[in-house]
Amino acid sequence: MKAIKAIYQNGRVTLSEKPPEPGPFEVLVVFPETADDPWDSILNDPTPRPAFVEFAKKCLADIAKGKAKPLDLDQL
């Protein structure tokens, strides 16, 4: 089985990639759930979670005491 991306619009499926074989063969079309992603509300919440605020305070305190240093994003 091979998955290929496609766009469904107005009752038609248009493949975004070339199929592995010329066919014909049976296909299965799977539509993503339309339910909201539970992470959307978390990521879009303008106020951070209380546990994260405490974690950030501890990190900043450790940095101030010289026990840790700020994360260098260029090293990720």
Q: Residue 11 gets which letter from DSSP?
A: T
Q: Is residue 47 part of a domain?
A: yes
Q: Is residue 30 part of a domain?
A: yes
> What is the average pLDDT across 32-41?
76
Range of the domain at 14: 6-70
Rounded to the nearest 5°, which phi and psi values hold at 8?
-105, 125
Beta strand ranges found along 1-76 (DSSP E): 6-9, 12-15
Q: Average model confidence (pLDDT) for the chain?
A: 86
Q: Is residue 76 part of a domain?
A: no
pTM of the complete model: 0.41
Quick check: 74 pLDDT over 90?
no
Q: How many domains does the chain have?
A: 1
> What is the average pLDDT across 16-34?
84
Rounded to the nearest 5°, which phi and psi values hold at 37?
-75, 125
Q: Is residue 75 part of a domain?
A: no
CA distance 49 to 43: 10
Q: Is residue 36 part of a domain?
A: yes
Q: Is residue 1 part of a domain?
A: no
